[in-house]
């Protein structure tokens, strides 16, 4: 059974309390929180201040996806805000191993996200040090985009790499996850499904989460 991580980027920002209450009552496992800096990605979302509010609104895992350059400057602020998992982008980190060490020393779980063009093979020598790989199945920056089908091959290849080394790293898929494609994503080897629009733009978000969970 996959973990479900609704992305709050697609929530109603005029009434976040209602969306948090819904998520807390739902079968959602993680809050997926997308931080964008307008430099690494062509969009700006929110930062530690809002995550601090989400932290107070839930006891679920806060999964913070940093789509920012120089994440080392902000890791401590996200720890203070209450992040449980801090994910940085492979493409944004010249010294990725150092970034991971910093996240671990702050006692958070460490994730690495990769853009659609980045091969999973580039993670071979960091896999043993991390908790989550977030495979982007859209180009990061916006919710509501279509799933890139080639991602399924990347999931299968990464699953093999993880199993070969007997590691416990979770594979998280982010972007364009729907009720229609979730099964193929799980069958390919994913552990965590991020879902923004599929959850929050549906008629009954709580039922949609239950339906994703049941796949």
> What tokens were used for 30?
């993680």
What whole-number distance in Å separates Cα of residue 101 and Cα of residue 39? 24
- Which residue from 114, 74, 107 is spatially nearest to 92, judged by alpha carbons? 114
Instruction: Please identify which residue in 4, 32, 86, 88 interacts with ligand DX5, judged by CB under 6 A.
Output: 32
Contacts with ligand DX5 by CB under 6 A: the residue count is 22
Stretch that binds ligand DX5, among 12-20, 88-96, 97-105, 169-177 (CB under 6 A): 169-177
Instruction: Please identify which residue in 55, 60, 65, 170 interacts with Zn ion, judged by CB under 5 A.
Output: 65
Stretch that binds ligand DX5, among 76-84, 138-146, 152-160, 179-187 (CB under 6 A): 138-146
> What tokens were used for 60?
């679920």
Query: By CB under 6 A, is residue 202 in contact with ligand DX5?
Result: no
Instruction: Please identify which residue in 23, 138, 162, 192 interacts with ligand DX5, judged by CB under 6 A.
Output: 138
According to DSSP H, which parts of the chain are helical?
16-25, 48-57, 75-81, 96-105, 151-164, 182-188, 197-200, 205-214
What whole-number distance in Å separates Cα of residue 71 and Cα of residue 53? 21
- Which residue from 52, 61, 46, 42 is spatially nearest to 13, judged by alpha carbons? 46
DSSP-derived 3-state class of residue 63: strand
Q: Is 34 an annotated catalytic residue? A: yes
CB of 10 to ligand DX5, least distance (A): 5
Stretch that binds ligand DX5, among 89-97, 140-148, 155-163, 181-189 (CB under 6 A): 140-148
Closest to ligand DX5 by CB, 27 vs 167, is 27
Binding site for ligand DX5 (CB under 6 A): 7, 9-10, 32, 34, 65, 138, 140-145, 174-177, 194-198
């Amino acid at each position: 059974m996959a973990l479900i991580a609704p992305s709050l980027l697609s929530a109603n920002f005029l009434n976040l309390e209602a969306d948090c209450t819904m998520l807390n009552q739902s079968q959602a496992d993680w809050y997926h929180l997308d931080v964008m800096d307008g430099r690494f990605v062509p969009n700006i979302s929110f930062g530690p201040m809002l995550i601090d509010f989400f932290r107070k609104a839930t006891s679920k895992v806060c999964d913070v996806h940093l789509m920012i350059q120089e994440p080392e400057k902000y890791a401590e602020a996200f720890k203070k805000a209450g992040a449980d998992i801090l994910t940085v982008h492979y493409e944004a980190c010249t010294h990725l191993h150092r970034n991971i060490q910093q996240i671990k020393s702050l006692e958070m779980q460490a994730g690495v996200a990769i853009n659609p063009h980045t091969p999973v093979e580039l993670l071979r020598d960091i896999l043993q040090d991390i908790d989550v790989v977030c495979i982007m199945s859209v180009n990061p920056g916006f919710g509501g985009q279509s799933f890139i089908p080639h991602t399924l091959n990347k999931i299968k290849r990464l699953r093999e790499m993880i199993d070969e080394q007997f590691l416990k790293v979770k594979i998280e898929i982010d972007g364009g996850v729907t009720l229609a494609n979730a099964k193929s994503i799980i069958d390919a080897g994913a552990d965590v499904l991020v879902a923004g629009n599929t959850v929050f733009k549906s008629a009954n978000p709580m039922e949609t989460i239950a339906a994703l969970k049941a796949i």
